[in-house]
Structure 1
Amino acid sequence: MAKQVKTSTRPASSTIAKDEPLKEDIRLLGRLLGDVLRAQEGDAVYDVVETVRQTAVRFRREADSAAGAELNRMLKKLTREQTISVVRAFSYFSHLANIAEDQHHNRRRRAHLLAGSAAQPGSIPYALSKLDDAGVPGAAIREFFDGALVSPVLTAHPTEVQRKSILDAEHEIARLLAERDLPLTPRERTRNGELLHAQVATLWQTRMLRYTKLTVADEIENALSYYRITFLRELPALYEDMEVEFAAQFPQLRNKSASPKLPPFVQMGSWIGGDRDGNPNVNAATMQHALVRQSTTILDFYLQEVHALGAELSISTLLVGVSPELQALADASPDLSDHRNDEPYRRALIYIYARLAASARTLGATNILRKEVGHAEPYASAIEFTLDLQVIVDSLTSHFGAAMVRPRLASLLRASEIFGFHLATLDMRQSSDVHERVLAELFACARVESDYAALDEEAKVALLLAELARPGLLYSPYIGYSDETRS
């Protein structure tokens, strides 16, 4: 009989070494959670949680049936208070372990970049290289982006219970964990550990679940918080990364007439505030509220960035010139301070800020943090704002200031192209039978089609496309409609 050879399933030593920082992070966060648990709930509760943990580990790792039976008996004997503590402890540990894993993914990605490794699956360079290997020319890929539209749509789910307070604490834990990869002095490392401990304690003392039902307004604010911490800065950064990698993969296109700048093909969407299907709490007022909050959120961001640019671009015409277009913006500024006579960029940005503030008020803002220096007319559209920013970029670029564009101005310009003054499109979701009844009434009252509902699908599509292409309004303020159609 041939001797059977057992194949080892243990990971290679290199893999173990790569994962050691992850294990260290999980051990650190687990230890901090244990310290908080012991301090808050006492040794008895800590011992119960730790016994449950060790028994569960033994059952999972060793497939120990006795440990499984022991774990089952142990859990059934827990009191209500002990059960709550065990559930909270394991829930928070799961959250902390996920944070550590995310940080480890970032760490490994940086390690590959620092080592000059081959492009990793999931990265932009990898995707572009695969296309290149498949014989897809760079010009074709560039042409694809000219007509592409990627629209991630944020949704609110009735089971979503993650609170912003929890998200904020976990975001700070992730930042502190990433900081530990830097060369820290002993005191800095101690301070980092103290701050991590404080955040874990904050998590333990913060309700994980909501005790009251979310309103639609709450769901809107929750979604907007993701824009503030992620999308507003990361989407412009994504475009920059793609342009850099595209130029590196297809250098032959650098001298062609096609612009290396990618069009804003990623446009955010949302249905929070517009999802009427089955929700009687969503109506026209809700949609209006969602649109106002989206607009005021993006305009708050623009105002913050323009104010910061005004502090940064202290360039003097005593030392360098500016373009006539930039000078015209400065001359239109309500800022008449003698101290800034030779600082046209600052005066131009004060003018842009005043126009943004006026635009924000027009779109529903009521609490602009910093009052503008003086009056200016609101922008008629976000395109005008983008063009003003482009004037600043062009003037800097043509007067030895290209290095000053990238730190903040380039990202703000890109954000204005992506988010406009609306931040995201808002989907109106409604049951198709409601839509059909409303359309049938609108078409009948406008004498466009007497019985829309009786048309076949092909005819409906043709009629809808024709109506969308027509510049006139289907609705008339002089016609009386049913309550359903008016709503």
Structure 2
Amino acid sequence: MNSPAVSLSESLVQIVNSQNTLRLTNSRLRYRLKIVEDLLESVLLKECGQELVDLLRRLRDMCSPEGQAPEYPAQEVLKVVESLDLNEAITAARAFAMYFQLINIVEQRHEQEETSQSRINSLSGESQFPVGTFRWLFPELKRLNVPPRLIQSLVDNLDIQLVFTAHPTEIVRHTIRDKQRSIAKMLKQLDQLTVFNADEQDPIPTFVHSWEAESLQEQLAEEIRLWWRTDELNQAKPTVLDEADYTLHYFQEVLFDAIPILYDRLEFAMKDSFPALKPPQYNFCKFGSWVGSDRDGNPFVTPAVTWQTACYQRNLVLEKYIASIAKLSSLLSLSQNLSDVSEGILNSLSQDQVQMPEVYETNSIKFRQEPYRLKLAYIRQRLENTRDRNAQVRANGWQASEYMQSTKALEDCAYKSASEFLEELRLIQNSLQETDLTCKALQYLIRQVEVYGFHLAHLDIRQESGRHSDAIAEIADTLKILPSSYNHMNEAERVQWLVSELQSRRPMIPNHLSFSDKTNETVSTFRMVTKLQKEFSVDVCNTYVISMNHSVSDILEVLLLAKEAGLYDPATGTGTLSVVPLFETVDDLRRAPLVLQELFELPLYRCYLVSHQNLQEVMLGYSDSNKDSGFLSSNWEIYKAQKALQTTSQKYGVELRIFHGRGGSVGRGGGPTYEAILAQPGHSIDGRIKITEQGEVLASKYSLPEIALYNLETIATAVIQAGLLPTSSDTLPSWLDAMEDLSVRSREVYRDLIYEQPKLVDFFHQVTPIEEISQLQISSRPARRAGKRDLGSLRAIPWVFGWTQSRFLLPSWYGVGTALEEFLLENPEGHLTLLQFFYAKWPFFKTAISRVEMTLAKTDLQIAHHYVRELTEPGYEEVFDRLFTQISLEYQRTCNVVLHISGHKQLLDEDRDLQRSVQLRNGSIVPLGFIQASLIKRLRQHSSDTINLRSRYSKKELLRGALLTVNGIAAGMRNTG
């Protein structure tokens, strides 16, 4: 192949500068992009030779710089792609994937820098405070004359919970993530040595210490070479405990230290605008996890695994506390001869000496006249004893009736709870304050203990409703408790019997379980939770989420199983487990308010809520409702459900917390969290919110400290803002009527394609890489709820994942265009004015349209059409062409009407940074899409194509090649499922 005259990096700059919408005016960003491209090219030259570099250049040059695939037939591109042998295709796919991930590192670094700079500028008065931050919020509240008492009331009850899940949307292997973090750190170091001139269009960097910069670039190249020689694919499915390890990394590396700083930012901003107000409690922002506790559809999450996960979390947080105490010991070197010490400290030292004489013998001389250091030595030993005891508890397992003797021996000199540890830290703090001293490190540690306790993150149990009813039915049938089968009862009969059984003090389930494996495990899960709460405190696990909740009996069944495990006391009507219904389908969302009303009508349940601060948590599912009804209808049904649930709760005097089950992609409720919170109806948040964070979202939001802090701050800002400055939509019924009209129309169009077209399932399985995706080793959880090849059993994540890979992104926009167009045609001038007013004034509508616009920009139906042509099996050509034509017409219709409403000339004109990022990636994803389609075609033809030369490759080799392209496209899209 003849080598073009320009390098990859020069080609990139030409592509960027050829588009007015892609002009990278920031010199640092342009330079960083050039640095990583040059580094990658140098590595590829060394590892693979000039021929590969020429191939990559040629493929990119063949594809349109507009970020779309060339019109079909793209014979020149196809000729090159089809001529590649498997090794060449794999190497090209890996190179493109690495390119995308390096670009992701650079952009994330740029985002972090912009966040930091905007904060610096704001504090120095050089610019307006960034919207969505505390420094913007409180002056805005003051400007709008929001009464301080209202602010104080909301802040006092501020309750933000972020729940990390193990949903399989993180495709990047964690070994690779480690290398990416290393590269990010080195790029940051290189930045610190770089000085730019003032010319933004042609940056000419100089280095403060050129030899250091040269050394760093050599290290970067070496790290990229090591990465290149590392397999991107997991060789085996991760275990549940592997997933726990991956997820807890974010706590260990970023979040543990971020929380005290978040509180500092909030306290400073409040005092600056409202000096008389008191800041919130330290634990206003807390974390939860489903990793190791979410058993819905995952047979590998057992009671033993959940127990192991809790022990693992406790060990991690104890190690962090031990390190913090060591740091405090170096700081608090105060001599008793030079600084007064409280009587409380001296008394506690006397007690410590009696309890732990060996610590006194070791440290009394070393810390003579240094009481704080001596006190910290006792604290450290107690923490180490607590950690060692935790290791033995973990080894014994949850079913151990008694702990080993050595465990009991540790108990006297270990902390029984985090509150005991906190009490000793406050004893030191009070003593310092009495002598007019403060210690920031001690203050930070106290805040961390307030939030993380000895459990780190609370574990939510989740299970599908059918498991509980099946278990109760089997138990009742086996023990002959009911005159007829529980399964044959209607809803009213079930509720009546469940209430009666909940009031009975006799046990229903025997100690020895002799039922089916599923029922035994269901009962054992509740018994394990009882032991968890006894061992770790109630805070570690006090929420039980019921997926596919349809009725009141679903909730009472869980309460009955909780009662049998000692988590509900029939004598007092109180319990330690919050039961959380999860409403997922559109029908369940519509039924949710009635379910709550019937539940609140039960005196038994109202009594039960008293032991939970009269607070009812309800979870709303975005993924399944979207899969069921389409994007616009799903979001509207969730919006309506929130309004109705809030009304119902207020009617019965019950506090409500909505738990938002959002995914990372738009098709599963994803998108910017700040805007999403503000788009919620009226007072549905009221200072409380709970949100899932999962998969690739964790890496994008919590890998770097400043980005993590910015994300946490924007969430907290949005919750306060939504509680004090709700939208006016509740007072305008005409808006709601118009939105209901649009929702109904879009749902009909979506369901007509997805559920009424008999060949749609075949279309999805053939023209997307869904079958290959299911073989990725990225999750311990199966891709399907059952082994059937139908939409009902397919989970929402692979549903979105498949459409994203082949560039349809259909779940995120299909049906919206027809709904809006038909609405506009009824009254072209009046309805257009109305929708443009919605877009300008109604956060819900603006957020929905903006998400659709973003996914339309990422959609590429030209490359999607290529998948259809290449992967359609014989006999399906005519029907698939009709389906594609239908999809294509809806896409064009949606683009046109969205641009008409927004007033934009091009998609994403309102967000030029996102527009640049999307289009920059789109251009290079195109050749990778051609390679993927080619490899999938070869793979699927493998068993029958015995004559073709390519059949010399095994099915395993071809699958590996296809899966590597899945990695690359996911990296380029910055999204999977």
Aligned amino acid, residue 392 of structure 1? I
Aligned amino acid, residue 457 of structure 2? A
Coordinate RMSD, CA, aligned: 3.6
Q: CA offset at residue 21 of structure 1?
A: 0.8
- Separation in structure 1 between the aligned mates of residue 84 and residue 380 of structure 2, nearest angstrom: 60
1:125 aligns with 2:135: yes
- Separation in structure 1 between the aligned mates of residue 116 and residue 411 of structure 2, nearest angstrom: 48
Contact between 1:59 and 1:65, CA under 8 Å: does it hold in 2?
no
3-state secondary structure, aligned to 2:286: coil
Contact between 1:358 and 1:376, CA under 8 Å: does it hold in 2?
no
Q: CA offset at residue 202 of structure 1?
A: 2.4
For residue 104 of structure 2, the aligned residue among 82, 98, 108 is 98
Q: CA offset at residue 207 of structure 1?
A: 1.7
3-state secondary structure, aligned to 1:338: coil
Q: What is the match of residue 388 of structure 1?
A: 424
Q: What is the match of residue 219 of structure 2?
A: 195
Q: CA offset at residue 47 of structure 1?
A: 1.9
> After superposition, where does 1:11-22 map in structure 2 within 5 Å?
16-17=24-25, 19-22=26-29
- Separation in structure 1 between the aligned mates of residue 101 and residue 253 of structure 2, nearest angstrom: 18
Aligned amino acid, residue 71 of structure 1? V
> Deviation string for 1:340-378 (max 9, x for gaps)?
1111111111111111122223333699xxxxxx99611
Q: What is the match of residue 204 of structure 1?
A: 228
Q: What is the match of residue 80 of structure 1?
A: 86
1:27 aligns with 2:34: yes
- Separation in structure 1 between the aligned mates of residue 43 and residue 392 of structure 2, nearest angstrom: 42
For residue 360 of structure 2, the aligned residue among 329, 335, 338 is 335
Q: What is the match of residue 267 of structure 2?
A: 243
Aligned amino acid, residue 369 of structure 2? D
- Separation in structure 2 between the aligned mates of residue 39 and residue 190 of structure 1, nearest angstrom: 18
- Separation in structure 2 between the aligned mates of residue 214 and residue 390 of structure 1, nearest angstrom: 41
For residue 152 of structure 2, the aligned residue among 119, 125, 142 is 142
1:172 aligns with 2:172: no
Aligned amino acid, residue 257 of structure 2? R
- Separation in structure 1 between the aligned mates of residue 222 and residue 317 of structure 2, nearest angstrom: 32
Q: What is the match of residue 51 of structure 2?
A: 44
Q: Please say which of residues 327-336 and 423-432 is displaced more in the overlay.
A: 327-336
- Separation in structure 2 between the aligned mates of residue 287 and residue 181 of structure 1, nearest angstrom: 43
Q: CA offset at residue 294 of structure 1?
A: 1.2
Distance 1:455 1:165, change over 3 A: same
Distance 1:320 1:150, change over 3 A: same
> Deviation string for 1:260-317 (max 9, x for gaps)?
3534122211111122222222211111111111111111111121122223322221
Q: CA offset at residue 68 of structure 1?
A: 5.7
Aligned amino acid, residue 304 of structure 2? A
Flag structure 2 segments of 5+ consecutive residues without an equivalent. Answer: 1-17, 194-207, 354-358, 395-409, 525-977
Q: What is the match of residue 776 of structure 2?
A: none
- Separation in structure 2 between the aligned mates of residue 390 and residue 311 of structure 1, nearest angstrom: 18
1:326 aligns with 2:345: yes
Distance 1:388 1:261, change over 3 A: farther
Query: How many residue pairs align between the two structures?
Result: 458
1:362 aligns with 2:389: yes
Q: CA offset at residue 456 of structure 1?
A: 4.4
1:60 aligns with 2:66: yes
- Separation in structure 2 between the aligned mates of residue 427 and residue 340 of structure 1, nearest angstrom: 44
Q: What is the match of residue 373 of structure 2?
A: 346
> Deviation string for 1:60-96 (max 9, x for gaps)?
3699769965334322322211111111111111111
Q: CA offset at residue 32 of structure 1?
A: 0.9
- Separation in structure 1 between the aligned mates of residue 97 and residue 209 of structure 2, nearest angstrom: 33
Distance 1:320 1:55, change over 3 A: farther
More strand by proportion, 1 or 2? 2
- Separation in structure 2 between the aligned mates of residue 69 and residue 395 of structure 1, nearest angstrom: 79
Q: What is the match of residue 902 of structure 2?
A: none
1:315 aligns with 2:340: no
What is the TM-score with the length of structure 2 in the denominator? 0.43
Aligned amino acid, residue 395 of structure 1? S
Aligned amino acid, residue 238 of structure 1? L
For residue 415 of structure 2, the aligned residue among 362, 379, 385 is 379
- Separation in structure 1 between the aligned mates of residue 332 and residue 248 of structure 2, nearest angstrom: 29
3-state secondary structure, aligned to 1:269: strand
- Separation in structure 2 between the aligned mates of residue 142 and residue 459 of structure 1, nearest angstrom: 45
- Separation in structure 2 between the aligned mates of residue 190 and residue 223 of structure 1, nearest angstrom: 35
> After superposition, where does 1:270-309 map in structure 2 within 5 Å?
270-309=289-328
Contact between 2:382 and 2:413, CA under 8 Å: does it hold in 1?
yes
Q: What is the match of residue 424 of structure 1?
A: 457
For residue 413 of structure 1, the aligned residue among 446, 449, 465 is 446
Contact between 1:154 and 1:271, CA under 8 Å: does it hold in 2?
yes
Relative contact order, higher structure (CA 8 A, sep 6+)? 2
Q: Please say which of residues 231-240 and 22-31 is displaced more in the overlay.
A: 231-240
Aligned amino acid, residue 282 of structure 1? V
3-state secondary structure, aligned to 1:60: coil
Q: CA offset at residue 201 of structure 1?
A: 2.1
Q: CA offset at residue 249 of structure 1?
A: 2.9
Aligned amino acid, residue 375 of structure 2? A
1:112 aligns with 2:139: no
Distance 1:479 1:366, change over 3 A: closer
- Separation in structure 1 between the aligned mates of residue 168 and residue 233 of structure 2, nearest angstrom: 13
Distance 1:384 1:91, change over 3 A: same
Distance 1:180 1:123, change over 3 A: farther
- Separation in structure 2 between the aligned mates of residue 385 and residue 234 of structure 1, nearest angstrom: 21
- Separation in structure 2 between the aligned mates of residue 111 and residue 409 of structure 1, nearest angstrom: 28
Distance 1:99 1:252, change over 3 A: same
What is the TM-score with the length of structure 1 in the denominator? 0.82
Q: CA offset at residue 410 of structure 1?
A: 2.1
3-state secondary structure, aligned to 1:379: coil
Distance 1:66 1:158, change over 3 A: closer
- Separation in structure 2 between the aligned mates of residue 138 and residue 443 of structure 1, nearest angstrom: 56
Distance 1:135 1:109, change over 3 A: same
Distance 1:134 1:209, change over 3 A: farther
